[in-house]
Amino acid sequence: MDPRTSARRSLKLNWIASTTLSLIRMVESSTLVTDDPSGRVSIMRGSAKALPLKSDVSVKVFLTEADRILERLVSASLEPSAFWSHLVDDVVSHSGDEPLTPQICEVALLRAGHSQLQSEQTAAAVFRSLDTCRITLAGELPRMAEQLRLRYAPLKQAFEAYGPGMLRSIGNQIWNGAPPKGWWPNKVTVHAVQPLQSGAAGHSPHQSAVWIEAVLTDISPKVPEWLRLVYHLSELAIDTHTRTHASNSGIDTSGKSSSTELPWSLGIVPLVLDQAIDRGLLPTGLLPDGQMPFDEAIGLWRSSDTFENLLGPGIDDASLALLIQEWWLEVGMHTKAFPIALKELASRLDRSNSASNQGDV
């Protein structure tokens, strides 16, 4: 089968109003975890400003139960972010809005490194706290699923109008007109969640699924919110392909991306923006001299773990935007073999990171 024909058949998305994932993100955001200079983990009370709760009593329930969960995780010598990541990954693996269970919590604990000896007991305690928050949230937002469907409708409509064609073009540009077989997953689930950060999204590196906050308006007038979805769907295809290729080559893909990998997550930013400009879908009148809004896109999309792992501590959004713009104009847009162009981007990132580190000394 022609890869382009396969791509056309793989671009329909299954949208879900995910109350369960919304709950998890709310609880996780209710507590902050930081490392102090001594290496000890400190639990801090999270901000309640982002929680979509009206009652002070409800806010207190969330903060209290989130603290209890974090105390359990820290006492079990677990990295809290690893637990939440695995729990999210398990939830997005479902094709529907599945309710949480103690078993799902236990699987996430075990994947995060919890001892099997007491995992059932810890999972039961974590689930009780999450379920208490679920009941509280149901009282505050009894029609959350219905409201989420209304909220994601404009996003879905915009993507269906422009997204599939853009994704095909992005795949063709990456692979010089011939994407490899299976480049686009056969089925992709989109979990729409309650906004907490005025726009955010992510994807599961192990599942054909993405999640995105169902915001009603664009966060930036320069970058339509549905482009965030295009970006993460592109990153999902790349992650799936690179993991499959690495697995077939006998490379361990269980951990996070290493610094030696190609900086796909950065390189596809100008690909998405270029396709949008080419179709007249960006308000070029807001951009100086017709330039791409790299700084805006980077600021909005830099929540990706892979994205962050590529950057040194001294590279801010403005510096990174300039680096990518120069690379794109000099190399990226002219090189037919995109992975070769990404090697040059990786070299430029290494030089920038080295210069930044030397400046900190």
Q: What is the pLDDT of residues 152-168, one digit of tens each?
A: 999 999 999 999 999 99
Q: Out of 78-92, 280-294, 321-335, which region has the weakest mean confidence (pLDDT)?
A: 280-294
Residue 41 is predicted with a pLDDT of: 38
> Model confidence over 81-94: pLDDT tens digits?
999 999 999 998 88
CA distances from 251 to 243, 247, 257, 308, 310 (A): 9, 5, 12, 22, 20
Q: Are 67 and 45 in contact (CB under 8 A)?
A: yes
* Residue given tokens 């490379």 in the structure block: 251
Q: Are 281 and 162 in contact (CB under 8 A)?
A: yes
For the segment 164-175, the average pLDDT, to the nearest whole number, is 91
CA distance 145 to 157: 18
Tokens representing 313 are 């501590």
Residue 353 is predicted with a pLDDT of: 74
Q: End-to-end distance of the chain based on CA atoms, in angstroms?
A: 56
Among 44, 66, 63, CA closest to 55: 63
Residue 249 is predicted with a pLDDT of: 52
Q: Are 273 and 293 in contact (CB under 8 A)?
A: yes
pLDDT at 312 over 70: no
The one-letter code for the residue type at 181 is K
